[in-house]
Amino acid sequence: MDAAEEWLIRVLYVISYMCIIYKTSVPKSRHVRYPKHPQNELLRPLNQILGTQANVRLLRALALSAVSLTSGELAHRAQLGRTSIYPALRELERAGVIEFIGAGSQRQVQLRERHPLARVLKELFRAEARRFEELIAALRELLAELPFRPMSAWADKRGQDAQSEDTLSLCFVARPEELEQLTDYLNARLAKVEHAYDIHVVVNGLTRSELQALYGRQGNTLSEVTLLDGVPPVALLEPSRRDATTPTLTSHNEHDARSRRLALAIATKIKRDPGLIDLAEDRIKRRARKASPGERRELAEWMRVLSTMSPARLRRFLLEDSERAIRLRQSLPALILLSPAERDAVIRSHTDLDVIAAVTRR
């Protein structure tokens, strides 16, 4: 063996040894991209303990449970797939924050009380749970002051759709003649609750027939909501009936698509200049002075959106597929932020890239 071959073998040996060290010291995950400069686990243990959403969900379920849990029960409480929790459990066990008790199919999982951060983690997740409980209590107090009691009122933690993770839906069912007054009453008083809990609350007033139209085929989703007042909303549903198709569906879809293109253009301009939000608020205030009562309510809702949402959250909201975002996009009073030329170019656009180009040209 000559010197060159010996040198090459030594280099390969060092590389192999370094790979072994890396694999045994770094948690395995197909979905995690690790930082270029890792930190010491002894000094920064929370990097590993709270490193993924699966870790956080599992720790939350264990911290809020008074007893140890089986893998199946833990996966259910954490809303994770049964098989997908095992890599995260191995990582948490390696960090020493959880432990297994028992053996075989009867083996259970619990938070390891002797870990120095166990008590702190428990208090963290309990504080998180208390925050939501206090929010619900505040909403119940607000509902108790309503001039008319709704048939049902509930909070939906899921927001209006999957994209509305930072939104809570406050829904209620009332008689048609009471709906407008109750909606205005709640919208006028919710800002205090939103600021106190750093959350956006959407008021969604429904008649009983509207509840049937929205949830008649999927009443099971109403079983997951938090009841605030009255009877459970699912109790107000009638047996589902087949909905008649309407010939205007296509035109509605086309109108929604155009409204979304305009919303994308406005979101793009706001990203480049967040100061445009203040300009939009000022113009809406002036427009509200001459608006009809119906338009004034919608403008007031836009004012609440603009004044309570951060620029990043506002941009996301403008493009959401939630019921509220789609409804408000039909008016888009902030449309005045687009020049006539920009508006025409956006309407003629066919793709998102065309829309963005229409409002970013110099």
Give CATH for domain 35-116. Answer: 1.10.10.10
Q: Percent of the chain having pLDDT more than 90?
A: 8
Lowest average pLDDT, out of 31-35, 91-95, 113-117, goes to 31-35
Site of tokens 């029960």: 73
Read off the pLDDT band of 42 (50, 70, 90): low
pLDDT the model gives residue 352? 86
- Which residue in 67, 53, 70, 80 sits closest to 107, CA to CA? 70
What's the CATH fold of domain 132-236?
Beta Polymerase; domain 2 (3.30.460)
pLDDT the model gives residue 22? 44
Distance CA 15, CA 36 (A): 18
Q: DSSP for 269-305? A: HHHH-TTHHHHHHHHHHHHHTTS-HHHHHHHHHHHHH
Could you tell me which residue, 45 or 207, shows the higher pLDDT? 207
What six digits make up the tokens of 7?
């040198």
In tens, the pLDDT along 144-180 reads: 899 988 999 999 876 444 445 668 889 999 998 898 8
DSSP 165: T
What six digits make up the tokens of 156?
């939906």
Lowest average pLDDT, out of 44-58, 109-123, 164-178, goes to 44-58
Give backbone dihedrals phi and psi of 203, rounded to 5 degrees, phi first: -90, 125
pLDDT the model gives residue 335? 58
In tens, the pLDDT along 288-325 reads: 887 777 777 888 888 888 888 888 888 888 888 887 78
Contacts of 220 (CB under 8 A, 6+ apart): none
One-letter amino acid for residue 126 of the chain: R
Write down the domain spans for the chain. Answer: 35-116, 132-236, 249-360
In tens, the pLDDT along 65-106 reads: 888 888 888 888 888 888 888 888 888 888 888 898 887 767
